[in-house]
């Protein structure tokens, strides 16, 4: 059975919480109550948690690009000009969202994979873009594409505003989704894909940041 602390709140709500030590005059009574709780709640909770984790894993592995893009679309962002964002507008966009840390992570990951396809898998880019109309990040002064590293740019302190664990997870799940998407189209060279991803991470991000983006 998973430990009660690890159970997400919306699942906790569906079960009686375990008896607390403070409510019992002696350890023995508490142990007994705990045993009773385990026998009544433990098994069901275990099953619900198993389902919950399997679901999360499935979502994470299968379609993170789609999940993030749909989430961004629901944010109804203002400041997207023809599906383009200029560098100077990103912080405003992020701060106005319902979850700035997730939006920072999502935009970074989505723009990274989109630029990656554009650079290394050109022949799939138009199909990729029509399936995933990911906003483009425009460089403020030159008007060309700006790198996704912008969302964690160190000189502006954006890296300190990121939730690195979340960023790392969304990034890796998006990259895995992209790999699956390319495989479905016959791009089976896993080693080449991984090398290119690693190279882009190494050249695009700082050394510390690159650690978070390692794709296993
Ligand atoms: Zn601008």
Which pLDDT value is given to residue 214? 83
pLDDT given at position 61: 57
pLDDT at 123: 95
Please indicate, yes or no, whether residues 10 and 72 belong to a single structural domain of this protein: no
Same domain, residue pair 68 and 155: yes
User: 152 in a domain, yes or no?
Assistant: yes
In angstroms, what is the span from residue 87 Cα to ligand 1's centroid?
5
Tell whether 1 is covered by a domain.
no
Which tens digit of pLDDT belongs to each residue from 153-174?
A: 999 999 999 999 999 999 999 9
Looking at residue 193, its pLDDT comes to 95
Q: 139: CA distance to ligand 1 center in Å? A: 7
Same domain, 67 and 117: yes
Q: Using 50 as the pLDDT threshold, list the residues of the chain that sit under it.
A: 60
Q: Answer yes or no: are the C-beta atoms of 54 and 105 closer than 8 Å.
A: no
Q: What is the pLDDT of residue 143?
A: 81
Q: Which residues contact residue 58 at a Cβ distance below 8 angstroms, ignoring those fewer than 6 apart?
A: none
Report CA-CA distances (Å) from 20 to 8, 28, 152, 155, 180. 19, 12, 43, 49, 47
Q: How many angstroms is it from 142 CA to the middle of ligand 1?
A: 9
One domain, residues 186 and 92: yes
Residue 136 Cα, ligand 1 centroid: separation in angstroms? 13
Position 77 scores a pLDDT of 83
Beta bridge partners of 136: 84
Q: Tell me which residue range forms the domain holding 171.
A: 63-213
Q: Select from 114, 178, 168 the least CA-distant residue to 146.
A: 114
Residues 174 and 67 in one domain: yes
**Whether 162 contacts 94, CB under 8 Å:** no
- The tally of domains found in the chain comes to 2
146 and 50, same structural domain? no
* 44, 15 contact by CB (below 8 A): yes
Q: Are residues 199 and 169 in the same domain?
A: yes
Name the DSSP class of 42: I
> How many whole angstroms separate alpha carbon 184 and alpha carbon 196?
18
Ligand 1 centroid from CA 94, angstroms: 15
Q: How many angstroms is it from 157 CA to the middle of ligand 1? A: 18
Q: Ligand 1 mean position to 140 CA, how many Å? A: 4
53 and 155 belong to one structural domain: no
Specify the pTM.
Answer: 0.72
């Amino acid at each position: 059975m998973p430990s009660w602390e690890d159970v997400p709140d919306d699942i906790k709500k569906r079960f009686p919480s375990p008896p607390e030590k403070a409510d019992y005059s002696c350890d023995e009574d508490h142990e007994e109550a705990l045993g009773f709780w385990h026998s009544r709640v433990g098994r069901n909770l275990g099953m619900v948690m198993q389902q919950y984790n399997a679901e999360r894993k499935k979502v994470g592995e299968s379609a993170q690009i789609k999940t993030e893009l749909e989430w961004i679309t629901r944010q109804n962002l203002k400041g997207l000009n023809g599906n383009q964002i200029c560098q100077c507008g990103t912080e405003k966009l992020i701060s106005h969202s319902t979850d700035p840390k997730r939006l920072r992570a999502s935009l970074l990951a989505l723009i990274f994979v989109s630029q990656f396809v554009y650079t290394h898998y050109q022949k799939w880019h138009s199909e990729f873009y029509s399936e995933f109309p990911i906003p483009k990040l425009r460089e403020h002064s030159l008007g060309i594409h700006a790198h996704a590293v912008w969302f964690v740019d160190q000189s502006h302190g954006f890296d300190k505003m990121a939730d690195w664990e979340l960023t790392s997870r969304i990034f890796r799940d998006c990259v895995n989704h992209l790999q699956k998407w390319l495989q479905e189209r016959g791009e089976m060279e896993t080693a080449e894909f991984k090398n290119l991803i690693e190279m882009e991470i190494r050249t695009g991000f700082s050394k510390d940041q690159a650690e978070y983006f390692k794709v296993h």
